[in-house]
A and B are shown apart, each in its own frame.
Chain A
Amino acid sequence: MNAKTVSRRRLAIKEAPERLSPPIVVEPLYQCATAVTVIGFVPEAQIDVEVNGALVTTAPGGFPWPKGVTIALPNALVAGNTVRARQRTPQLTSGWSNPVGVRDHTADYPAGPPRPQIDPAPVFQCGLRTGVGNLLTGSNVWITADGAEVGRVNGASQHQGVNVNPAYGLGEYVRAWSEMCKDPSPPSVGHVTQIPPAPLPVLTFDPVYEGGQQVTVREVVNGARVALYRNGVLMGTWPCWGGGLTVSGLTPIASGDVFRASQAMCPGDPPSHPGETTALPCGALPAPQVGPVQAGDTQITLTQFVPDAAISVYLNGMLVGLGSGPVVILSRAIAMGDALYIVQDLRGCRSHFALEVQVLCVDPPVRGNPSALDLFPVGFFDYQSSGLKGRVFYPAIDDSANQPFNERLAGVRRAPIVFMAHGNHDPSDPSFLGYDYFQRDLAKMGVIAVSIDCNSLNGGYGGVQNIEDRADLIIEHIAYFQALDTTAGSIFFGHVDFARVGLMGHSRGGDAVVTVPTVIALAGVTIRAVLALAPTNFRFRAGLPTIAPQGYAFMTILPAGDGDVSDNNGAQFYDQAKPAPFKSQLYVHYTNHNYFNRIWLEDDSQWTQPQPAVVARWEHERILTSYGCALFRARLLSHSTWQYLSGDLLPSGVLTQHAHRSYEWAKVVTVDNHEDGNTIGTNSRGQPTSQLSGMSANEYAFGQDPAAYNSSFYGESTGMVIASGQAGRIFRTALPTPRDLTRREVWIRAAEVTDGRAVIGASTGFELGLEDGNGFRAWVDTDMVGGLPRPYARDPGRVKTMLQTLRFKGACFRAGKFRIESVRAILIRCDRSDRHAFALDDLQIV
């Protein structure tokens, strides 16, 4: 993201607001909800709520942060209703928000509402308030302690605070429950109340500014009472679910006002020492900060802002949004190259600073995490039968070992199943226990997750037969679960859907799960997705053809710092795979081979020194479970989580800046994949290419192959290398007929070519251009679509030219008389003077 803070006074913007942005009705809305939550309005706006075109209620919004306003409705919602909201100030009235359709929750949650989450956990003795998340807006939520109800809110928000009365005792078993339309959710994970920390932490304050009306304190213990003083005068005492507490509605704060706060838990125990802050003058109010902004966006997401500030967004000098964090709706879509200016103002303070953002073509938003879906309790057990051994996690009626299968889910449909196979490791270690975090994440969303003990095949040897042995073992486990599915009395009796099978294999297990679909002959088994994590490819080493994954969605994760499978053989499988309906590759910098498995303790990257330090083990785990759940949800549960693999979205809480994606859909227009054997002079559409202004490009094997451009390629494909040269050289590839790319994207896999020994010079890039039927051209730089990553600087000899997919939106190509409606050629222009060579492949129109 290109953003910097600038002085507001220098901006040529019209400061008098003429319009308010519509607020946002929090989605989804479900039948029976007795309340709606609205966010994004300016402080103290009036909120009108309309159902089916009729104004049903008006309520003061108060302060929009941190929870918006949850407004009770005169009547419960009914499926098919549409709900809108608008905001009003004495001077201005916004337009109505986009209508939100009301659905029956059983359409989205046929097995009942998702299970609540006590958030934050844990819960403490003497706690007075507990946060409950993962709720459906408008549902009813209550808390029990040792089975007795101690707090309730009807018409809840998605993350609801529940006051507890009486306060928790020590050692009580606390659970949260919810219902929607009298349809109960499973209970939350149970938490046993603990002795609160002693001494209690000193509270801290977020910066407080002159003119503000809110104060946020941090370090609050879950369930504590917080006493707030202003200039020595008690403002009140609030219960807090823990973490942060925002107090709203203060009279405007003056510079120099002193705020103190302390927290207490059990009567008789000492409160915390007080924390203190002094209000800063208006001149210190900073510019807000925003998340990624890209062409086509119609809203901005704020990542840092003062909670009671009104946020104004100016586009090319005109006000296009006025609301509040965390999301402001814009009155028009923004385009690549637009300059956005974003300011925040308090009631008594206009910020002196603005955030200037240059809009990129592609800069995907961070939105949710595909591993976060939490619907069911999780049961598990170890099995051992006829030489087979493993551990299975599954959606259950409650958490713990040997629980019955979740009967609500069973009543709706059979559950998909994923089989996981670890790789070669010391056979005295229980490697199959190393993916429990991934198994649990799948099970809580309704997927049975089996981890197979492959230790009988582990040791200091290997080869194609060993991989085939592993594939055979995996199939035997699938057959075993087929038997459980047909065995009365089994937990899985009648519950498994073998038409929705996924496979995950790590290391040699990855090699094996790619083999399984080519040899499996079990009746009734359909493999829909395969994840090969840092796989070996023993067939390649033995001189046999690499298996081409086909008939299922294939994904591979390649640790760039892999010190064991240091050739990243999964790239060969990706290159050979046929998208069905997609294929996906993640080349992840600063990760190693072992840390995805909790049992494998060694940092293998140290075997191939020098290497950069790898990220922590839990960062590896987040990568696997986030992207792995994205794959399996997309193919086994028909969720749209493929967007995390294609790069449309980024998962939160994941080091996505290190994950370099390749992705390909089936049924797109491939302009050139260089696999046709028709020389560099002709593309895959049978159209001519041309090399202009000193361009020197040719086709080469992209792999460990004597015909490769150099030894830095590790996949198994043919691609194109643009040799080093002067700036301005152009490669042109023609389309058979003019095409309208207005709503299309141009995708290309690209990399900076390394010599395999070192990462030299500074970062580089190129421009991708489109040429219309009249010869007019428009260009977009790679820096506008996320940039070309540097090669991973690992041990000399294993620095790789690893391609990733760059996406250029058609709408970003704008210049003079150029017409995006009739594109007849795609161009690559090397406009840098750094003389880097480039590797390119799979030029597609998507």
Chain B
Amino acid sequence: MSTDASQPLEGGPEPRWDLPKILDIRIRRIAFEPRRHRHFASSLGRVGEAIEFLVTTDGPVPARAMAPVLFVGDAPVFESESLGENRLRFLAFDVARLQPDAPITWGWGHARPEERLETRFRFRPEG
């Protein structure tokens, strides 16, 4: 019987979850009403008011379990939705935690401070 000796096969491919670069952020205060569900009312129904961050990136955000998060200083902004190609809307409900002129960074939901990506934007709501 012949005997082979080979090298182990590569594991699965590594995911590519690098975030794109943020090109623009527009910030404003809005009246918030959660999306209507067919079968129940959202737990966010009592929020009423939010800060909206309209973000433009230079590429798509990868789809994975974790979501992209904006950090205003150290205050995370978790809620996001797609507005089309390379455009996202982030919503901050705990407005009091957002410090004026704080630098905005971003990263994945569980990113440690050193893992966050810098942007050239600061928290300066319009109007």
Contacts and interface: CB of A to CB of B under 8 A. Distances in A.
6 contacts: A426-B63, A460-B61, A461-B81, A463-B78, A563-B15, A602-B12
A459 B57 CA distance: 14
Nearest to A426: B63
B44 interface: yes
Contacts of B107: none
A536 interface: yes
Interface string A598-636: 000111101100000110010000000000000000000
B12 A469 contact: no
Q: What 5 A-B pairs have minimum CB-CB distances, sorted nearest first?
A: A460-B61, A462-B67, A603-B12, A463-B79, A519-B40
A545 to B, nearest CB: 10
A202 interface: yes
A601 B13 contact: yes
A836 interface: no
Interface string A455-469: 000111111111011
B16 to A, nearest CB: 8
Q: Identify which of A426, A464, A539, A543 gathers the most chain B CB atoms within 10 Å of its CB.
A: A464
A523 to B, nearest CB: 12
Given A424-B63, A536-B66, A607-B15, A459 B39 contact: no
B42 A465 contact: yes
A541 interface: yes
B1 interface: yes
A238 B80 CA distance: 69
A758 interface: no
Contact of A567 (B1, B13, B110): B110
A465 B79 contact: yes
Interface of B: 1, 11-15, 17, 34-35, 37-40, 42-44, 60-69, 76, 78-82, 88, 91, 93-94, 109-110, 112
B3 to A, nearest CB: 14
A129 interface: no
B12 A459 contact: no
B110 A566 contact: yes
Contacts of B68: 460-462
A601 B12 contact: yes
A468 B42 CA distance: 7
Contacts of A563: 15
Contacts of A458: 63
A208 to B, nearest CB: 20
Given A476-B39, A541-B109, A425 B67 contact: no
Contacts of B13: 601-603
A202 B1 contact: yes
Q: State the main secondary structure of chain B at its contact with A.
A: loop
Given A426-B63, A472-B37, A593-B65, 15 more contacts: A426-B62, A460-B88, A463-B67, A463-B78, A463-B81, A464-B42, A466-B67, A468-B35, A472-B38, A507-B65, A519-B39, A539-B43, A594-B12, A602-B14, A606-B12
A465 B44 contact: yes
B45 to A, nearest CB: 10
Contacts of A606: 11-12, 14-15
Contact of A464 (B14, B43, B63): B43
A16 B73 CA distance: 82
A521 interface: yes
B65 A543 contact: no
A472 B66 contact: no
A520 B93 CA distance: 25
Contact of B11 (A476, A564, A613): A613
Contacts of B35: 465, 468-469
A272 to B, nearest CB: 12
Contact of A469 (B37, B65, B66): B37
A607 B15 CA distance: 7
A614 B35 CA distance: 39
Nearest to B14: A606
Q: Identify which of A461, A475, A567 gathers the most chain B CB atoms within 10 Å of its CB.
A: A461
Contacts of B79: 463-465, 542
Given A468-B42, A472-B40, A603 B11 contact: yes
B60 to A, nearest CB: 6
Nearest to A479: B39
Interface in A550-566: 563-566
B27 to A, nearest CB: 17
A593 B68 CA distance: 18
Interface in A502-535: 507-508, 519-522, 534
Contacts of A107: none
A424 B69 CA distance: 15
Nearest to B37: A472
A607 B60 contact: no
B21 to A, nearest CB: 14
A614 B14 CA distance: 13
B63 A459 contact: yes
Interface in A425-480: 425-427, 458-466, 468-469, 471-472, 475-476, 479
A30 B43 CA distance: 55
A328 B98 CA distance: 70
A557 to B, nearest CB: 14
A423 B65 contact: yes
Contacts of B78: 462-464, 538, 541-542
B87 to A, nearest CB: 10
A459 B78 CA distance: 15
A544 interface: yes
A595 interface: yes
Contacts of A613: 11
Nearest to A593: B65
A796 to B, nearest CB: 11
Interface in A580-608: 593-595, 601-604, 606-607
B65 A508 contact: yes
A426 B16 CA distance: 11
A607 B12 contact: no
A797 interface: yes
Contacts of B81: 461, 463, 465-466
A595 B44 CA distance: 33
B80 A462 contact: yes
Nearest to A563: B15
Q: Identify which of B39, B42, B79 gathers the most chain A CB atoms within 10 Å of its CB.
A: B39
